[in-house]
Every structure is written in C-alpha cells, then in structure tokens.
Amino acid sequence: MGLHLAERPTRILVDLDRISGNLRTIRAHAGVPVMAIVKANAYGLGLVPVARHLQEQGVEHLGVAFPEEGIALRRAGITVPILVLGGIYAPQVAQYLRHDLEVTVSSVDKLRQVEAAAQALGKRATVHLKVDTGMQRIGVHAWSAGPFIEAAVASRWIDLAGIYSHLACSDDPDSPVTALQLERFEEACAHFGRIGAPVPRRHIANSGGILHFPETRLDMVRPGILLYGVLPGVDCRPSVPVEPAMSMVSRVVYFKVVERGHPVSYGGTWAPAADTRVVTVPIGYGDGYPRALSSRGRVLLHGREYPIVGRVCMDQFMVDIGRDSAWNEDEVVLIGRQGGARLRAEDVAQAAGMIPYEVLVGLNDRIPREYRGGGLAGS
C-alpha cells in the first residue's frame, strides 16, 4: 500500500488518452479483437485505473497473471472478460469461478482440477487451453495436444473460449523461432477439425508478434508493453506508431558545490575532476528506480540531459550539472519529455543493462500515480 502523499515531488504521470490512441492504433493494425494485458499493475501504470479506462474504450478482453489481480478488478467493478494467464494452483481454482475469471488450463490433470471445482460449485468454468510451442514454461507440448483437446471438448463442466500459446522470440524481427512456433500452434489447432469440433478463439501474438509477424494475429492479439507505448526490445521495429503513455518526474531538493576530488554517495565511486555543481533528486531504489543507473543514468533538467553521479541511494540520487544553475523545486524528468529533449523507458533500460519491462514494473507504490485525460484526474 503506497503513501500517496499529494506533496511528494516524485510521481508517475499516466496519459489515458495515449492508451486510448494506442489501443485504436493496435486494433487498426491487427484487424482482430484485443486482449489488453494489465498484469503487474498494468506494467507499472496502475491496474484498476488502466483496466477501468480500457473497459470504457470497449476493449474485448483483459489479461492478468494471477487470480488475485483478476479478483481486484472484479471488486473494482470491471465486468469485461478476464483471462488469468498464469499456471493454476489447485486450492485457488474455486476463486476463479466465484469471480468469473477465465482459466488457463495447461494439461489434462489441470483440466480435471477445474472440472472438479466447477462441479462442486455447480458453475461452469470458462477455459482457454495453453499449448507450449517453444517456451517450455506451461502448456502441453504442441505435438501431444490431441488427447488434451479431446478431453476439453468432451468436458461437461467447461466452456472452451480459447486456445493459445506464447511467442518466445518475437521481439527479434529476424528470428526464425516465431515461424516455427506458429507452425506448431496451427498444427495443434487443426486437431479440432480432425475430431469435428469447432475451433475456439486462437491467440498467440504478443507485442512483438503484433509489431513484426502479421501472420500471428489469428483471432485475437495480446498487447502488453506496446499498449503503453514502449517497445519490447532494442531490436524492435516501430511498425505500429504508438506513443508513450507514462512519464516520471521529480524535483530538485538540494543544490551544492562539490569540490574537485571529493567523492559523491556511498562507496565514493565517483568524484569530480573539477569543482562542479550537484543537485539531489528524491527517488531511489526503494521506489524501484534501478540502482544499476549509478553513474550511468541520465535525467532532464531545464530541457538538457545531465548524468547521475555516484551510487543511487535507497531514496535519493545525485546529478552533476557542471557549471549550470538549478534551484530547489525545479522539475527533473526521469522518463518523458522536457523542452525538446526526451528520455524513453527504453533509454533508461539500456543505460541500466535491463529491459524496458523491468524498469516499468519495478516502479512501486511509493510513487504516486496521476491520471490525465480519459475523464480522470488525480492520484
């Protein structure tokens, strides 16, 4: 539970209109329904406000990782279909059904667990079958999916809403793995025809699939990070013109002159070669801001980039502004635009030796979120 102090100078700004625009762009590009992935606190942007906005925009489906996320959405009044993407834990299955959550079933044994819970509650379960085409995470192997599909089709306690897999290498537009995975998935799905059963909704395209592999769109797409305007990886081609929906800002809270040779922050890992001016910014790894940005990251101040110097502390870090001037309470942009300059989440991730996903989902609830556009305001 976050502090959510209105006075805290550090905050995440979420542009709901940008999310709407990205949703429209992805829909137009893919030409099929969208399952918007809102797991991990909607990639750091805020689970309930983002999901509520997406529902208002008419999104067809939502995807979460765990039932707890789905239950939180139901308790917040979200009524759109919600698929829980993660592997099921048997003691939780009844909670899926009580809260009208769609279940990922990844084996015949898991199917039987869902059937037992459904029968005990007298309530049919809505299920998506998971086929492993190359991730080796959850799901039956594609080449042995036949008996699994037959058991699901024959079940009296489930409604079969979908069948899906997950792409392992789609952030690389040149990888041959995606074509192989799609071939395996389509072969598994062909078993429905062999047994004379209708094919449920097929979905395999994640953000990378949407960007690079149009043949993976099938019956529905599952954008996650792309929906929030961030590319999944450094090799991605921006073939879908999305806009970043999140920025992060803070303020200068201290200014000092540091003399040549005097080390800054823990461990004394950095010291200026000449007298310089250093400002302190009140955010650190305790907020999920990566410590790996120590003497590697950059921020925007007065529309210019300046380097983070010394180690990022739990609650603060320092920035070298050279001979330039700054005042307490001046705005500092950590992700976003200021004047003509921009720092993307992708830039922050690259400086930290991370991927953009890690940067976004690592930002915790100590940082207040403010929502703009979409008819909402405030944190």
Selected catalytic residue, list 39, 285, 306, 371: 39
Selected catalytic residue, list 123, 254, 256, 266: 266
Nearest to 201 by CA among 217, 220, 214, 186: 220
Nearest to 1 by CA among 368, 362, 290: 368
Q: CA–CA separation, 147 vs 195, rounded Å?
A: 11
Q: CA–CA separation, 262 vs 91, rounded Å?
A: 58
Q: Which two tokens stand for residue 211?
A: 């960007």
Q: CA–CA separation, 123 vs 109, rounded Å?
A: 19
Q: Which residues of 44-69 are buried (b: 16+ CB within 10 A; e: fewer)?
A: bbbbbbbbbbbbebebebbbbebbeb
To the nearest 10°, the Cα dihedral for 249, 251, 252, 254? -130
Assess contact for 71 and 95: CB atoms under 8 A: yes
pLDDT score of 234: 87
pLDDT score of 260: 98
Catalytic residue status for 254: no
Relative to beta strand 276-281, strand 369-372 is unpaired
Domains recognised in the chain with CATH numbers: 32-228 (3.20.20.10), 246-372 (2.40.37.10)
How would you write the pLDDT of the chain (379 residues) with one tens digit per residue? Answer: 445 555 799 999 999 999 999 999 999 999 999 999 999 999 999 999 999 999 999 999 999 999 999 999 999 999 999 999 999 999 999 999 999 999 999 999 999 999 999 999 999 999 999 999 999 999 999 999 999 999 999 999 999 999 999 999 999 999 999 999 999 999 999 999 999 999 999 999 999 999 999 999 999 999 999 999 999 988 899 999 999 999 999 999 999 999 999 999 999 999 999 999 999 999 999 999 999 999 999 999 999 999 999 999 999 999 999 999 999 999 999 999 999 999 999 999 999 999 999 999 999 999 999 999 986 544 3
